[in-house]
Amino acid sequence: MQAKLSTMFQSLQVRNYRLFASGQLIKLIGVWMMFIAQDWLVLELSDNSATALGVVTALQFTPVLLLTLLSGRLADRYDKRVLLFAANAFWTVLALGMSLLVLTDLVQLWHVFAFAALLGTANAVETPVRQAFVSELVGTPLLPNALSLNAAVFNSARIVGPAVAGLAIAAFDVGPVFLFTALSSIAPLVNVVRMRTAELHRDALLPRDERASARVVDGLRYVWRRPDLLLPMAVMSVIGMSLFNFQLTLAALAKTVFHTGAASFGLFSTALAVGALGGALSGTGRRSRPSVWLVLGAAIACASFGTLVGFASTYWLVVTLLVPTGFFMVFFAQAANQRVQLGVDAAFRGRVMALWVLVFLGTNPVGAPLIGWVAEHFGAGASIWMGGLISLAAALIALTWQLRRSGARVRFRVLPMPRFYVTSTDC
């Protein structure tokens, strides 16, 4: 057990990564608390409008759609550590401003819309830079482990944040939650400054003069010529747009279908995050590039359980189904992320990860308003199972394409344990 735990958390032995992960954990707990408070505030200010909630989600992710590819270019040209500090500092200022509006009861719905858009701008810069920076913190050998631990940090915060936010909103209202978010965002600023630049792994990067000529279009062409990178990104774009909107759909489900309070909404998010944490930790022992079959199998499982959540008719059945949904959601996203990162040249990592963030988060501006409209007119449950079925269809189409392209076959084995497997020479 001690050896397994040592392997599972191996990247934490690297000082720079330990600083990075601890700062992210503190900040992300506050961020998830803020997401819950923001959604609850929107529902209060808009008379429980799921459409308004969808608009906020869209505004939050529209800058990702518009700016992420440019941010990837910045990541390949400039010091990622400096870029991270600047983006996080911008985030801190925004969070402080929003918390003052809420605490003084001056907040209006349009303030939330503007805050979401500006917050998305900070995310559009910070997220691809942070994704690409991990390889500089630990190097290629530890990269799969570090990526899995990143997901574990994210989902640990996703467990703690919503649970605490639900209780805090019930006890103190949303204002103190926004204030805590602002204060927690200082942690990554401090830890980025404390990193030792001499211990960063930057040997594989292009020389400075070649980095200066890095173009967005070169990154797009690079991915287009790589079907092994293009397929997981295509599947992620569909699932991200149609199913990964639980921030929106679970809030609507809690308040409009089961007529529960903030604490019960937090339980939905916590159940999803508990499964997600298990999915993240399950990949920490991985040391090689995941196969395309693992990625597609996880996508099918994620879509299947997501569909079942939408059809669930009781509160506790939803809570139960959200655990495996969260597990396969993160297991799929992490396997796809690792397949992309471990298959890309270091010189293109910033731009390729920017494209990954674009398909992972940037599709939300398209999907969120549609999902919100469906939730408002046909019910929150319908918005979830429809997204699940669309995602399942995309995963099955991708599986069929990959099987035909590689000449592989799907088989079913009964003994010693029933399972599907693929017979193929292409991994």
User: 178 and 97, same structural domain?
Assistant: yes
Among all chains, which residue has been given the structure tokens 């200066």? 212
Residue 424 lies in a domain: no
Rg (CA), the chain: 21
Exposed (0-12), middle (13-18) or buried (19+): which is 416, by Cβ within 10 Å?
exposed
Is residue 427 assigned to a domain? no
Which residue range forms the structural domain that includes residue 306? Answer: 215-406
pTM of the model: 0.72
Exposed / middle / buried, residue 349 (Cβ in 10 Å: 0-12, 13-18, 19+): buried
Output the domain CATH number for residue 132.
1.20.1250.20
**C-alpha distances in Å from residue 123, one per residue of 66, 84, 129, 240:** 12, 10, 10, 17
Integer CA distances (angstroms), 354 to 74, 129, 219, 222, 330, in order: 10, 8, 9, 13, 19
- Is 206 part of a structural domain of the chain? no
One domain for residues 41 and 84: yes
Contact predicate 35/115, CB 8 Å: no
Q: Is there a single domain that holds both residue 190 and residue 87? A: yes
Give me the residues of the chain with pLDDT under 70, please.
1-7, 203-214, 261-266, 285, 361-365, 412, 414-421, 424-427
| Per-residue pLDDT, 427 | 46
Classified as helix, coil or strand, 202 is coil
- Same domain, yes or no, for 246 and 135? no
Closest CA to 283 of 63, 16, 11: 11
Quick check: helix, strand or coil at residue 86? Answer: helix
Residue 409: strand, helix, or coil = strand
Asked if 243 and 392 sit in the same domain, the reply is yes
Q: Would residue 419 count as lying in a domain?
A: no
Looking at the 3D structure of the chain, how many domains does it have?
2
Answer yes or no: is 124 within a domain: yes
Same domain, residue pair 19 and 107? yes
Domain boundary residue, one of 196, 225, 253: 196
At 204 the pLDDT is 53
Work out whether the CA dihedral 172, 91, 56, 326 comes out positive or negative.
Answer: negative
Q: Are residues 34 and 164 in the same domain?
A: yes
Domain assignment present for residue 341? The answer is: yes
| CA–CA distance, 290 with 298 (Å, rounded to integer) | 11
- pLDDT at site 354: 79
Domain limit, last residue, from 196, 229, 259: 196
Q: Is residue 416 part of a domain?
A: no
- Exposure of 101 by Cβ count < 10 A (0-12 exposed, 13-18 middle, 19+ buried)? middle
The answer to whether the beta carbons of residues 239 and 386 sit under 8 Å apart is no
Q: Which two tokens stand for residue 62?
A: 């529209």
Residue 137 and residue 278 in one domain: no
The label of the residue with tokens 């003069």 reads: 209
Is residue 169 located within the same domain as residue 310? no
Residue 104 lies in a domain: yes
Does residue 135 sit in the same domain as residue 238? no
Same domain, 182 and 312: no
For 410, phi and psi rounded to 5 degrees? Answer: -90, 130
Same-domain check for residues 119 and 242: no
Q: Residue 261 corresponds to which tokens in the numbers above?
A: 């309070």
